[in-house]
Amino acid sequence: MHPPDVPTNPLAARYGGGATPPAPAFALNTALETILNHRSIRRFSAEPLPVDVLDLLVAAAQSAPSTSNLQAFSIVAVEDSGRKARLSKLAANQRHVAEAPLLLMFVADLARLRGIAADINEPCEGLDYTESFLVAVADAAFAAQNCLIALESTGLGACYIGAMRNHPQEVADELGLPPGAFVAFGMTIGYPDPQVATGIKPRLPQSIVLHRERYAPAQADEVAAYDDALRVFRLDQLMSDIAWSRQATDRVRGPGSLMGRHVLREVLQAHGFGLK
């Protein structure tokens, strides 16, 4: 496997070289460097993955914390080119969904618990409540992030695919999911294309995200400064220079901006989630 490409100052890069937190009193170790160097990879090389990589990634995913040890998630590994192509169309025609060597689908899975309860003749009415759905989504997210850090530490790259929620029932049908199992998101995985330079995208400054003791609203000047930092990144990556504040608010403007996900609750309820 390939060693990760580590910038000299990942902490500064994560904040766009602007307002960075104080330098830590300890040296960054390999795990911290892997986390701070994260970038989404959407172009992959033709290099095949190691034969045992899937087992390793699933083990890493299962090593994540789990709410009450319910382990309410599943992973569907997709390598078939035809299935990846069909899922790509359902996920807003994102090319890398079809082209990635490996596509992992992280499933919020209450179906397994329901089946286990039936097998031992125990009630499971708690699965009909929104809390259980949140537990399953949280467990899937914990597992996926562990998987991401593990694969990036080996030199692989990945990208989360939230667009799998655009057509949740069609995605469930493609994967043969039972009622009570829902793809929270996918993840494309492969070796990054060495011909495509992908920078570290700056995040909001800690002064906006970190609240000490009590919540404090973001200040307009801090958001404007972040808009400027992200604009520099986007131009460097040959992307549009739309301000983050504009892009983010456009994404939540109304039902039409949710890419079909405004009916998600109805679809989930029809697919076996009570959401009481």
Dump pLDDT digits (tens) for 169-218: 999 999 999 999 999 999 999 999 999 988 899 999 999 999 999 999 99
pLDDT at site 16:
82
pLDDT at 4: 43
**Radius of gyration of the chain measured on its C-alpha atoms:** 20
Distance CA(273)–CA(276), nearest Å, equals 9
Q: What parts of the chain have a pLDDT lower than 70?
A: 1-8, 17-25
Contact 101, 132 (CB under 8 A): no
Cα–Cα separations (whole angstroms), residue 49 to 56, 153, 204, 237: 12, 14, 34, 27
- What's the gap between Cα 73 and its chain centre? 14
Q: Please provide the distance, in angstroms rounded to a whole number, between the alpha carbons at the two ends of the chain.
A: 46
pLDDT, tens digit, for every residue of 79-99? 999 999 999 999 999 999 999
In contact, 126 and 67? CB cutoff 8 Å: no
Tokens 């709410």 correspond to what residue? 67
C-alpha 209, offset from chain centre: 19
**pLDDT of res. 237:** 84
Token pair in block for residue 120: 């031992």
pTM: 0.92
Cα–Cα dist 254/262, whole Å: 9
Give the sheet arrangement for strand 73-78, strand by strand.
73-78, 102-109, 181-190, 157-161
Long-range contacts of residues 29-37, Cβ cutoff 8 Å, at least 24 apart: 30/153, 31/149, 31/153, 33/4, 33/6, 34/4, 34/149, 34/152, 34/153, 35/149, 36/10, 36/11, 36/200, 37/4, 37/5, 37/6, 37/7, 37/10, 37/13, 37/152, 37/200
Residue whose C-alpha is closest to residue 57's, from 146, 140, 138: 146
Domains in the chain (CATH in brackets) are 40-198+261-270 (3.40.109.10)
